[in-house]
Amino acid sequence: MVIDDSMTELVVAEKALEGSYRIMLEQNGRHALDYLKKLTKLPSLVLLDIDMPAINGFEIFSQMRSVDKLREIPVIFVSGANDTATELEAYQLGAVDYIVKPFVSEILKRKVNLHIGILEDKRKLASVNSTLQDYNEQLQDYNDELQTKASVATQSVQQLEYFLVGMIGDLITKKDGYTGIHCKRVAKYMEIILRQMMKDGTARYPIKDVEMILMCAQLFDMGKIGVPDYILEKVGKYTQEEFEIMKTHTVLAADSIQKYAYLLPNSPLVSYSYQMARSHHEQWCGRGYPDGLAGENIPQLARMIAICDVYDALVSKRTYKNAMPHEQAYAIINQASGVQFDPHVVAAFNKVHVDFYDTSQIEMQ
């Protein structure tokens, strides 16, 4: 908002700023103050002329500071008085800047850009601090819970979950050795990217559920137990018919989980394993399978594990192909950002791709 009794200065300010910002112009100081008090969406910045009739800029500023919702709006004082005493008084009252009139368009625009940029940086910093505080509070809550709720019943449930995951994982490995090892490696990558996204604030899961999510990640390909051996063990490219059969592994797993989900109502084990098993071949653009989901309609865990799955497939050696170098796999994943993969997950992958590489070297020894 620009408040100035000179229409000439208001026109100059409007022309200088209109291409970049939405601008409110006010010639009357009292009207401007009343209007501000009624607004629900406040301006990010106020340019306030000091020398105005009826009520001057310093008085308006003082009244703004007495109103809770107006108190934090940054104010740049403007004045035709190019003297140090007036400028010092403006800063002592709490102005963020001082501009001498008549306005010079380029200087005005640069000063406004500077202070809007400072506001945006403050908002980003506040968001980061809030995320870190939330993450730390969850860590503290989890630590407190671990210390106070280590009951026999909880331990028994955890042992049952480990038993089920271990048993199914063993069946996957016996069905197809590569798939079993692949699932374990993918779960390792999943831990890296999940923790990074939780740290960034782009993924929010209870800290106590992280271990459960990683257990379920080991089962994401379990539907391949139901795929015929001649397809799983085939060397070379699938025919269209064979590929359609291979694609059913997502639905086979999901149907089995859903069939018995009633036995564990509201169970994270059921929810997390279902999301990853059914939707890990969906694509951000909507061309994946089995449901053709797109964007954020794809469960977030499935979007994460999709990158882990593809990365491991690329850097793994098979009978019909050599292992791809990490750099090439990294490039392929980035090229598919916004098409096959969620850009937010790719951004997290780019932060930890070296950890992916290090893990791949250890796991493939």
Per residue in 227-260, pLDDT tens? Answer: 898 888 888 889 999 999 999 999 999 999 999 8
Bridge partner residues of 321 (DSSP): 318
Give the residue-averaged pLDDT of 308-323.
88
With a cut of 70, say whether residue 317 has pLDDT above it: yes
Identify the band that residue 203 occupies on the pLDDT scale cut at 50, 70 and 90: very high
Q: Quote the pLDDT of residue 176.
A: 65
What kind and span of H or E run contains 97? strand 97-100
pLDDT averaged over the chain? 89
User: Is the CATH code 3.30.950.10 the one for domain 2-122?
Assistant: no
With a cut of 90, say whether residue 200 has pLDDT above it: yes
Q: Which of 94-98, 130-134, 222-226, 318-322 has the lowest mean pLDDT?
A: 318-322
With tokens 């939780």, the residue in question is 198
Collect all residues with Cβ–Cβ distance below 8 Å to 183 and sequence separation of at least 6. Answer: 169, 172, 217, 218, 219, 220, 221, 222
Residues 300, 217: contact at Cβ < 8 Å? no
* Segments of the chain assigned to CATH 1.10.3210.10: 151-363
Q: Quote the pLDDT of residue 256.
A: 92
Give the residue-averaged pLDDT of 333-353.
97
Q: What is the pLDDT of residues 283-303, one digit of tens each?
A: 999 999 999 999 999 999 999
311 against 157, higher pLDDT: 311
**What Rg, from alpha-carbon coordinates, does the chain have?**
30
Residues 356, 348: contact at Cβ < 8 Å? no
Burial class (CB in 10 A: 0-12, 13-18, 19+), 301: buried
Q: Quote the pLDDT of residue 365.
A: 66
Read off the amino acid at residue 61. Answer: F
Which CATH code of 1.10.3210.10, 2.40.128.110, 1.10.1740.10, 3.40.50.20 fits the domain covering 151-363?
1.10.3210.10
Q: Quote the pLDDT of residue 19.
A: 84
How far apart (Å, rounded) are the C-alpha atoms in residues 193 and 185? 13
* Segments of the chain assigned to CATH 3.40.50.2300: 2-122
Q: What is the pLDDT of residues 1-49, one digit of tens each?
A: 999 999 999 999 999 998 889 999 999 999 999 999 999 899 999 999 9
Identify the band that residue 277 occupies on the pLDDT scale cut at 50, 70 and 90: very high
With a cut of 80, say whether residue 166 has pLDDT above it: no
Identify the band that residue 63 occupies on the pLDDT scale cut at 50, 70 and 90: very high
Strand-strand pairing, 75-79 and 2-3? unpaired
Helix axis angle, 57-65 to 29-38, nearest 10°: 20
First to last CA, the chain: 64
With a cut of 60, say whether residue 150 has pLDDT above it: no
Q: Quote the pLDDT of residue 232.
A: 85
Give the residue-averaged pLDDT of 68-84.
90
